[in-house]
Amino acid sequence: MEVFLDIENLSSAVSKKPMVTLGTFDGVHLGHQAIIKRLCQKAKETGRKSLMVTYEPHPQSVVAPESAPKILTTLEEKLYFLRKLNVDQVVIINFKKNLAQQKARQFVEEILVGKLNAGDLIIGYDHAFGKNREGKPEFLNKVKSKYGFGLEIISPVKNTDLPIKSSRIREELKNGEFSKVIKMLGHSYPIWGTKIPGQGLGGTLGYPTINLKAGERKLLPPDGVYAAKAKIEDKTWTGMMYQGKKPTFGGKSPTLEIHLFDFNPAQKTERVCLFVEKWIREDMKFDSSEKLRNQIEQDEKIAKNYFFKKGG
């Protein structure tokens, strides 16, 4: 997958008349995946390349920073899932205020046609771009002939009779409905972070952990214990993730850490890619470290049984 960070110099790199889709694609959930799979399918059928345009940072953080949501996927995490979906090319537009003020027709003329030379545009039913969100499917239907591109609108993918949307997934995550989040995403919840020093409390309990710092804009799951996998330097381990303030030890600051089964904690690690798969329990305060250790033993059994049933 080719990734372009500068839309100003694409003429020689972007394929002729590519199949194009546009959007933030935060979470790369099942609704997004339906659009992307159709994009790649149509590109293959016509012998063209699939090209996705996405934005960084999240447009809401520029348009309305005071109410901007935390994100489900960082750019790095998003690109990981796009690679798995076999997108040929990704163009990342640095979203600034001037882009938010650009009219939809100008965006079509200068970017969609002028920079990308789009052959077909494939978008979701609720997609909109440009000033005042003018660039909706109705607008595109009116101008597609003039600018010479095809248009296909993808219907919503639903869960419990409601369209799957990033905003809905965020709310379910905040509410602790982790299984619903996983169902709507269609994949595990990614949390990629950098290793930071910890207090070593896990080691005293017989469960050494790697402490992580996630991106500031990343939406983290509610406090608790989760079954998770971790990818470190192209190797994957299973384990348990903990998110919380360590109330048993009187902690006040939130911590994010992972205990990995069969992993040597002395191994040098800088970057850890977590994939959170199952909620085990909420964070709890115990009367003693011994009771906490007993509970962690039970958590370990649940996590290992979960991964055993999954076959790995």
Question: Are both 151 and 116 inside the same structural domain?
Answer: yes
Among 163, 178, 204, residue at a domain's last position: 163
What residue spans of 3-103 are helical by DSSP H?
A: 30-46, 59-63, 75-84, 97-100
Q: Tell me if 86 sits within 8 A of 43, measured CB to CB.
A: no
- Per-residue pLDDT of the chain (312 residues), as tens digits, is 999 987 876 755 566 899 999 999 999 999 999 999 999 999 999 999 999 999 999 989 998 899 999 999 999 999 999 999 999 999 999 998 888 899 999 999 999 999 999 999 999 999 999 999 999 999 999 999 999 999 999 999 999 999 999 999 999 999 999 999 999 999 999 999 999 998 888 888 999 999 999 999 999 999 999 999 999 988 999 999 999 999 999 988 999 999 999 987 677 788 999 999 999 999 999 999 999 999 999 999 999 999 999 886
Q: What does the alpha-carbon distance between residue 310 and residue 289 come to, in Å, rounded to a whole number?
A: 31
From the CB of residue 62, how many other CB atoms can be counted at a distance below 10 Å? 17
Assess if residue 170 is contained within a domain.
no
Question: Are both 266 and 205 inside the same structural domain?
Answer: yes
From the CB of residue 272, how many other CB atoms can be counted at a distance below 10 Å? 23
Question: Are both 260 and 153 inside the same structural domain?
Answer: no
Beta strands (DSSP E) in 180-254 are 189-196, 210-214, 224-232, 235-244
Number of domains into which the chain is organized: 2
Question: Are both 118 and 225 inside the same structural domain?
Answer: no
* 6: three-class secondary structure by DSSP: coil
Question: Are both 150 and 213 inside the same structural domain?
Answer: no
Return the pLDDT at 252.
Answer: 86
From the CB of residue 110, how many other CB atoms can be counted at a distance below 10 Å? 13
Question: Are both 24 and 90 inside the same structural domain?
Answer: yes
pTM score: 0.95
Return the pLDDT at 13.
Answer: 58
Q: Tell me if 108 sits within 8 A of 143, measured CB to CB.
A: yes
Tokens of 275: 């994939």
Assess if residue 182 is contained within a domain.
no
Tokens of 14: 């972007």
**Which residues constitute the domain of residue 240?**
188-310
Q: What is the CATH number of the domain that holds 274?
A: 2.40.30.30
Question: Are both 144 and 269 inside the same structural domain?
Answer: no
Return the pLDDT at 12.
Answer: 57
How crowded is the C-beta side of 196, counted as CA atoms within 13 Å?
12
Assess if residue 181 is contained within a domain.
no
Q: What is the layout of strands, in order, in the sheet containing 150-154?
A: 2-4, 89-94, 50-56, 19-22, 120-124, 150-154
Q: What does the alpha-carbon distance between residue 151 and residue 122 come to, in Å, rounded to a whole number?
A: 6
Assess if residue 179 is contained within a domain.
no
Assess if residue 102 is contained within a domain.
yes
Task: Report in angstroms the alpha-carbon separations of 133 from 21, 182, 283.
Answer: 16, 29, 41
